[in-house]
Amino acid sequence: MSYVPSSWLPGGKPDPLIARRVTLGTQQPRVDGPDKVRGAARFAAEVPMEGLLYAACVHSTIARGRIAALDVSVAEAAPGVVLVMTHRNAPKMALPPPIGLTNLKAAGNSILPVMQDPDIRWNGQAIAVVLAETQEQADHAASLVKARYEAVAARTRFETAKADARTPDSLMIEKNQLKKGDVQAAFQAAARRVDAVYRTPWHNHNPIEPNAATIVWSGDRLIVHDATQMLNGTAGSLAKVFGIKESQVHVSSPFVGGGFGGKGLWDHQILGAAAAKLAGRPVRIALSRAGMHRLIGGRSPTEQRVALSAEADGKLTGLIHHGFSVKPQHSVCDEAFTLSGRSLYASDSVDIVQHTLDLDVLANTFMRAPGEAPGTFALECAMDELAHALGMDPIELRRRNVSDGDPITGAPHSQSDMMLAYELGAERFGWHRRVAAPRSLKDGEWRLGMGCATGSFPYARMPGMSARITIDDNGHATVSSAAHEMGMGTTTVQQQHAADRLGLPLDRVTVRIGDTSLPFGSFAGGSSQTASLGAAINAASAKLASQLLRLAGNDTPLAGLKVGDIEFADGGLRKIDDSSRHESFVSILKRAARREVSVTGESGAPLEMLKFSMHSRSAIFCELRVSDVTGEIRIDRLVGCFDCGRILNPRTAASQFRGGMIMGIGMALTEETLFDERTGRVMSASIADYHVPVHLDVPDIDVLWTDIADPRTPMGARGIGEIGITGVAAAIANAAFNATGKRVRDLPLTPDKFLFA
Ligand code: MOS
C-alpha cells in the first residue's frame, strides 16, 4: 500500500520536520563534490569495458523521403571497423513507449521506429551506425558511408504549418483552452490595452556532459551505463523495445553532467544496444555536439500573442494568451507556454489557448522550465508594456493584480508570497534608483536601464517513487532509491533530510542513488525529484518506526507506546518530547538479534496538487547597458528573489537558482538554434555556432529567497530546479526597453535588433 500524506491536506498537520529541522536549511557541501573535483566520479562515457567498441552515427541529409541506396562497403573495409548497422541488418525492435505522467516506466521522447525501415522522417535521423575499435576509426568510417535518397516534400516551415495547426485538449495536466468572462467587452471598455506578438526560437540542449551510453549484453541481460534523468523509464522502455523483461535491463547513472530535460531516452541508446547485440561486444555511443543537435530534441520555437486590458488603476480586465509551438505527431512533450498566464494574475476575463504545429523534424522535448520559460517571456514583457502604457511602476502593476489563489479555479495557494519576493528583491537590487522614462540614462556610448519580471514554475510530486531505509546494528542508516544526481545536490539534500527525519547526525546517513538495482525511482524532471524522494523517505520512515517498535517488544523504555506516541530522536526512538523514554536503534537491533532492519516507502498520490494551487514564484531584476554604436547588450547585474517554500540547503539552492538565471541570460541574449526552413537542417550544430553564455557574459548574480515553509509539501519545500530560468529573459528585455526605448519582442536580443529596430 502506498503512503498518502493525508496530513498535508486541508485540515491536516504539516510535515513536523518544518519546525524540527536540524541540518535542513543549513549550508552543507556536496557529498559528491570531492569525487567530482578529483575526477573520481565516473560518467557514462567513462565506464571501462573489455573489448569495447565505439559507435559513430551517419545522419540523413534530407528531411523526408526514403533511402534509395546505401553503400557501406567502403566504410566496412576501413581500418578498425567491426560492423556497420543500417535498417537492413538492425535487429527487430518495437516502438519506444512515450514518457507519460502515468507511465513512469517509459522515457521515450519520440515514438518513431528506430532504424527499422528506409524511411526518413527528419533531417539528421541516424541512417547507419558504425562500430570500430576506436572512436576516431568509427568517426572516419562514418564519413565513408554513401547514401542516395528519394526525397519528398517535407513540412519544415513554421508559418506554413499554421494552416494545419492542431488544438490539443490538454497540456500536461491542464485543460488547454480556457475562457472566462467576456474578453471582447473588457477590451472595448478598457482604459488601457496592449496587444503584441512575442517570438522565441528553437533552443538545443548543451549540458557539459553530452548524451552518452556504454552498453553491454550479458546473455539476454542488457546493461546500460547511461547519462539519464529517467533511470527506470529508460529500463522499462528498453525492455519494451527489445522484447525482454524489465528485470533483464539494468541501467546505471550515478552521475549526470546536467540534464535540463535532454537526458531521457533517445535513438542513440536504442541504436547502441542494437549494435552491441549485433556485434556481440560492448558498445560506447557518445554523441558529438553535432550528434546531439541531430538526435536530441530541443525546445520548440513559440509565437505568442499576449493582449492585456486594464482599468486606469492597473486592474486587469482582460487577458488573451494565444500562440503556436512545434510538436510533431511523433513527439511527446508539450511546450505549455500558456501555463504562466493562467495562474499568475487575476483578470476578470481570460481567453487562453495554444496550438501545435506538425513538422517533419526531430521530436521536440522539455528544456529547463518547459512552457514557463518562453511563456513568462511573453507575459512578463506584456505586463511591462502595460505598466509603461499606464505610467505605473511595473512592480505596483503586479501588486494590483497578483492572484490570491488560482485565478480560474479559485483553489487556494498552498503558500505564495510573490510580492514579498518583489519587496526583498527590489530592496537588494536598489529598484528605487530606476528612472521610469525610457532612454533617460547614458554613459558614453552606453544607454543604461533597469527592468524586472516575474518567474513561475508549478510544484510537482511524482507518485510511485520509492526509497528504502536500512538501519544497521551500528545505528547507521542507508537510504536507497533509483534517483538521479545531475549536479543539483540530490544526495546532499536527501542525506540532510534523512538525518533530520531519523534523528541522526549527517555522518550516520548514507544515500545511494543512480541505479535501477535500487528501489523504483520516478524521473528527475518537472522540478519534482526532491518532493517525490522526500515523500518516499518520509513514508519509509513511518514504516521504520512501526517496525522498530515491534522489534523493541516489551522489555524497552518504549513498551506500551504506539506509533503515534513516538518520534525519531538521538539515534533511536523516543516518546514524543520525553527523552527519558528512549531506546537507540543499536539497542533495539541488538536485543532482537538483528543485523539490520530495512523498509521501503513510496511517494503516494500527490493529492495536495489537486487541492491547492502550488507554484514557485520569483522576482527577477536586471540592470544593463546597451551600446548605441553596436547594439550590444551587457548585463551589469541580476538579482533573483525566490518564493519556493523552505530552502533545504542554501549552497546547492543558490547554485540551482544562479545556474537557471545564467540559462536565462543565454535565452535572452544568444541562444538560438539556426534552423534552415528550406531543408529542415539544424545549421548551428556546435557550441561555436550555438552560443551559450560564457563567463564574460555573466555578471554578478545575487540570489535570495523568502524561505516561507509550504505546509502542504514534504519538508515545506517546493521544487527549485527550473524556476531560475523563468522571468529572466523578460527582465532583460524590459531593462533593454528602459535603456533604449526599443521594445524587442523577438528572442534572442541580438545587436541588430537594437541597431535597426
Ligand atoms: Mo526538466 S525540463 O523537467 O529536466
Over residues 522-550, mean pLDDT = 97
- Give the dihedral of Cα atoms 531, 533, 539, 545; nearest 10 deg: -120
Is the pLDDT at 71 greater than 90? The verdict is: yes
Radius of gyration of the chain, Cα coordinates, nearest whole angstrom: 27
**Range from 2-6, 125-129, 180-184 carrying the lowest mean pLDDT:** 2-6
Cα 722 to ligand 1 centre (Å): 7
Q: Which atom of ligand 1 is nearest to the CA of 261?
A: 4
Q: What is the pLDDT, as a whole number, of residue 191?
A: 97
Q: What is the pLDDT, as a whole number, of residue 294?
A: 98
Q: How far apart are CA 442 and CA 165, in angstroms?
A: 45
**Confidence class for position 173, pLDDT limits 50, 70, 90:** confident
Cα 720 to ligand 1 centre (Å): 11
Nearest-CA residue for ligand 1 atom 4 is 261
Of 205, 206, 368, 532, best ligand 1 pocket probe by most atoms within 8 Å of the beta carbon: 368
For residue range 428-460, what is the model confidence (pLDDT) as tens digits? Answer: 999 999 999 999 999 999 999 999 999 999 999
User: How many other CB atoms sit within 10 Å of the CB of residue 288?
Assistant: 16
299 in Cβ contact with 363 (< 8 Å): no
Of 722, 723, 725, 726, best ligand 1 pocket probe by most atoms within 8 Å of the beta carbon: 722
| Helix, strand, coil shares, percent, the chain, to 5 | 30, 25, 45
Q: 67: which residues sit within 8 A by CB, 6+ positions away?
A: 60, 87, 118, 120, 127, 147, 148, 149
Over residues 282-297, mean pLDDT = 98
Ligand 1 contact via 461 beta carbon (within 6 Å): no
Q: What is the largest CA-CA distance in the chain?
A: 84
Could you tell me which residues are beta bridge partners of residue 197?
A: 305
Report the number of secondary-structure helices (H) and strands (E) in the chain: 20, 31
**Confidence class for position 2, pLDDT limits 50, 70, 90:** very low
Q: Which atom of ligand 1 is nearest to the CA of 229?
A: 4
pTM over 0.95: yes
For residue range 590-617, what is the model confidence (pLDDT) as tens digits? Answer: 999 999 999 999 999 999 999 999 999 9
For the sheet containing 566-569, what is the strand order?
A: 566-569, 572-575, 578-584
591: closest CA among 622, 630, 550? 550
Q: What is the pLDDT, as a whole number, of residue 5?
A: 58
Q: What is the pLDDT, as a whole number, of residue 614?
A: 97
Q: Which atom of ligand 1 is nearest to the CA of 365?
A: 2
Q: Which atom of ligand 1 is nearest to the CA of 527?
A: 3
Q: Which atom of ligand 1 is nearest to the CA of 260?
A: 4
Ligand 1 contact via 367 beta carbon (within 6 Å): yes
Ligand 1 contact via 259 beta carbon (within 6 Å): yes
Ligand 1 contact via 366 beta carbon (within 6 Å): yes
E strand or H helix at 561 = none
Cα 721 to ligand 1 centre (Å): 8
What amino acid positions are annotated as catalytic residues? Answer: 722
Cα 622 to ligand 1 centre (Å): 25
Bridge pairing between strands 477-480 and 174-175: unpaired
78 in Cβ contact with 62 (< 8 Å): no
Q: How far apart are CA 724 and CA 69, in angstroms?
A: 48
Of 366, 461, 663, best ligand 1 pocket probe by most atoms within 8 Å of the beta carbon: 366
484 in Cβ contact with 513 (< 8 Å): yes
Ligand 1 contact via 282 beta carbon (within 6 Å): no
Ligand 1 contact via 525 beta carbon (within 6 Å): yes
Ligand 1 contact via 458 beta carbon (within 6 Å): no
For residue range 655-702, what is the model confidence (pLDDT) as tens digits? Answer: 999 999 999 999 999 999 999 999 999 999 999 999 999 999 999 999
Cα 367 to ligand 1 centre (Å): 6
Over residues 403-408, mean pLDDT = 94
Q: Which atom of ligand 1 is nearest to the CA of 262?
A: 4
Residue type, 661: M
Cα 575 to ligand 1 centre (Å): 42
Backbone angles phi, psi at 448, to 5 degrees: -105, 145
Ligand 1 contact via 158 beta carbon (within 6 Å): no
**Confidence class for position 3, pLDDT limits 50, 70, 90:** very low
SS (H, E, C) 488-533: CCHHHHHHHHHHHHHCCCHHHEEEECCECCCCCCCCCCCCCHHHHH
Q: Which atom of ligand 1 is nearest to the CA of 528?
A: 3
Cα 526 to ligand 1 centre (Å): 5
Q: Which atom of ligand 1 is nearest to the CA of 368?
A: 2
The burial class, CB within 10 Å (0-12 / 13-18 / 19+), for 584 is middle
Ligand 1 contact via 371 beta carbon (within 6 Å): no
198 in Cβ contact with 746 (< 8 Å): yes
**Confidence class for position 124, pLDDT limits 50, 70, 90:** very high
Which ranges in 134-190 belong to alpha helices (H)?
Answer: 135-142, 158-161, 183-189
E strand or H helix at 174 = strand 174-175
Q: 614: which residues sit within 8 A by CB, 6+ positions away?
A: 413, 414, 458, 459, 608, 710, 712, 713, 718
Q: How far apart are CA 89 and CA 628, in angstroms?
A: 60
Cα 426 to ligand 1 centre (Å): 29
Cα 252 to ligand 1 centre (Å): 19
Cα 513 to ligand 1 centre (Å): 19
Integer angstrom CA distances of residue 726 from 320, 406, 649, 723:
20, 19, 21, 5
Ligand 1 contact via 260 beta carbon (within 6 Å): yes
Average pLDDT, the chain: 96
275: closest CA among 94, 115, 44? 115
Q: Which atom of ligand 1 is nearest to the CA of 259?
A: 4
Cα 369 to ligand 1 centre (Å): 6
Which ranges in 98-179 belong to alpha helices (H)?
Answer: 135-142, 158-161
Of 205, 260, 528, 530, best ligand 1 pocket probe by most atoms within 8 Å of the beta carbon: 260
Ligand 1 contact via 368 beta carbon (within 6 Å): yes
617 in Cβ contact with 418 (< 8 Å): yes
Over residues 13-35, mean pLDDT = 95
With pLDDT > 90 as the criterion, what percentage of the chain qualifies? 96
Over residues 169-177, mean pLDDT = 91
